[in-house]
Structure 1
Amino acid sequence: MPKKADPNETRSPSELIDARIAELTDWRGPMLARLRALILEADPDVVEEWKWGGPVWSDAGIICTGEVYKKAVKLTFAKGASVADPKRLFTSSLEGNVRRAMDVAEGGKIDEPAFKALVRAAVEVNRAKPPKT
């Protein structure tokens, strides 16, 4: 269950993400850290945010959220249905009209070049349709 936002929280979103990774003492911490590193490598302009009790990565809109479950680390791409996924990295929410997600289980392998390409494609979708102000 995600933790509720504390209105008195003084740590930056990046510090909150660091803390979430540190509190995950099993395989999920290193997996979330690796996925985060790949997102940051794929998009140097990415902004780390903390929303809905977890990490969010944005560039011209939300790229994806990071959720941690008992058996998976899940990245939900906000506009995933509009993002080309030639390597079929999306593994859940495939029937939806907007979002798509990828679940990485313990021992799961990440096709790093394909994942970075997916992140960059998500940014391009965001930039093509900037958020309303």
Structure 2
Amino acid sequence: MQESSAQNGKSPSELIDGRIKELGDWRGDTLARLRALIRQAAPEAIETWKWRGVPVWEDAGMICTGETYKAIVKLTFAKGAALPDPKKLFNSSLEGNTRRAIDFKEGDEIDDAALKALVREAVALNKSKAKRL
């Protein structure tokens, strides 16, 4: 399921590095921090680049995407509705049956431990579904 084609000869990881640098403000810093936390929680995750410019992390399926907008960095969990969220991190895309997202605004605190726990839950869910197939 890994996206095989790189853009302009760059790997997905290089494209994500470029996006972080290109943003050059709090959004780049936030995306870099979220990326580091995802990598810590899911070291076997694969970084991909989809939909013409969205960083995606996958392990046995999609974990989450990291979209950047003018006023927010949005971390969308593909199967977020099925994940336990005891720290109530999800604050966006709450109405859907599948996805859930966390919108980070400038200056927002990131609960590292809770976010890493959520990423680990997403990977566990992906792997449990993959085994059934």
TM surpasses 0.5: yes
Instruction: Return the alpha-carbon distance in structure 1 between the equivalents of residues 34 and 64 of structure 2.
Output: 11
Verify the 8 A CA contact 2:71 2:106 in the aligned structure 1: yes
Write the letter of the residue equivalent to 2:49. W
Residue 88 of structure 1, CA deviation: 0.5
Q: Deviations over 1:28-51 (max 9, x none)?
A: 001000000000000111100001
Write the letter of the residue equivalent to 2:46. V
> TM-score normalized by structure 2?
0.91
Q: Which runs of 4+ in 1 moved over 4 A?
A: none
Secondary structure at 1:20 match in 2: helix
1:49 equivalent to 2:48? Answer: yes
Instruction: Return the alpha-carbon distance in structure 2 between the equivalents of residues 65 and 8 of structure 1.
Output: 18
Residue 95 of structure 1, CA deviation: 1.2
| Residue matched to 1:78 | 78
> TM-score normalized by structure 1?
0.91
* More helix by percentage: 2
Structure 1 unaligned residues grouped into runs of 5+: 1-5
Distance 1:17 1:35, change over 3 A: same
Residue 26 of structure 1, CA deviation: 1.4
Structure 1 segment 19-58 matched on structure 2, within 5 A:
19-52=18-51, 53-58=53-58
Residue 132 of structure 1, CA deviation: 9.6
Verify the 8 A CA contact 1:21 1:29 in the aligned structure 2: yes
Verify the 8 A CA contact 2:92 2:103 in the aligned structure 1: yes
Query: How many residue pairs end up in the alignment?
Result: 128
